[in-house]
Structure 1
Amino acid sequence: MTSNTWLPSHGRVGKRRAAAEIRRDAEFAAFTAGAAGRLLHTATLLTGDREQAERLLTATLARTYADWLRLRADDPYDQARAELVRRFACRPWWRRPRGGVLARLTAQERLVVTMRYFEGVAEEQTAAQLGLPTDRVRAIGARATATLRSRRYDPAGPAPRAADRTEGRPPSGRPQEPARTVAEARDRADRAARRAAEKVAP
């Protein structure tokens, strides 16, 4: 006879919930170990600023962590990237990007170039995610590529140099590590979950 037999039903539920939380944390940690750096690079390309990129990534991972049990059945990276892109696209006009390696591009052009050339997302998928016709995405990509080539930088060519990847980083202070960003995202999701639970508690 197992020890669970002697536990009241709410005790067994509590143990199962704790085990599920531990499993979720382990799965999320494994995911972020491989994906956080890449997502941070994508966020930096979009925002042109390392500090803004870290804030964008923190918000994205907080949502990903909160929805992990639903997302893990699909491709968590695609879902996290979609959330990051959605949050960037919804930024108010006064927070539009100004610096970075894609400094000469508009926010929409940055989205298309980053997804198509740096993330390798197919044209049709990019169009669907951005809510644009495929031919519109193609035209935006062509215009952005022409702009970048006029500066002798081709997004479809070799990856940018390490120095270019950090362009737009704040001049002072040490850039935040992805692991720290992940921890902040997890704390943020936990706080949001506790607030939601308090609202529905009798």
Structure 2
Amino acid sequence: MTDTTVDKTPDRTAVEFWFDPNCPWAWMTSRWVDEVARHRDLDVTWKVMSLFVLNEDQDVPDTYRDRLEQGQVYPRVVTAARLRNGDEIVKPLYDALGEHVHHRQESDPAQVVPAVLEELDLDADLLEYAWTDEVDQAVRASHQDGIDRVGQDVGTPVIAVEGTAFFGPVISPAPKGQEALDLWDGVVAVAKYPGFFELKRSRTVGPVFDTTA
């Protein structure tokens, strides 16, 4: 049921959202943007970025680098589906992957990807792109588009609102109703100030997933 007590704005707002399907924090932020979009007229374009690409030139432990490389499966399959089916498939595919990866905590891409493709009635042969580098150039181009908006010293997600881009916010759990809108207005407002660069505090909780959404 829609919360009729929250603010509404008449104009449509262009939003771009870059995510890596592996990232639980990007997933939390995406649920917040979904909540805002229920009450505000947002035109959200969902785009892939890659934690592997983000960290490939960084000094990170080998075990972490291996995990990031294995995680390329999900950005690749989303990109392959977008190239074949268009931008409109990206969000449903992200939602389905997030349900398996984050809510159900399923960790084997060899099981997750076929299940998600079947759920969305997508071509089973898209699976082949997940374990090759055939669409990596397109993954990197999408990733770089987001990074070019905010610089290298960021993570996922990246959001651009009417051309104003920022990393995050990193939140848990995703707020609802007026609280979600208040956070949205505050984040967008500070991001629009040209001299604003960073606001941060230590995380005290992990991702809190709302499985009822």
TM-score exceeds 0.5: no
Q: Which has the larger radius of gyration?
A: 1
> Taking structure 2 as the reference length, what is the TM-score of the superposition?
0.28
> Taking structure 1 as the reference length, what is the TM-score of the superposition?
0.29
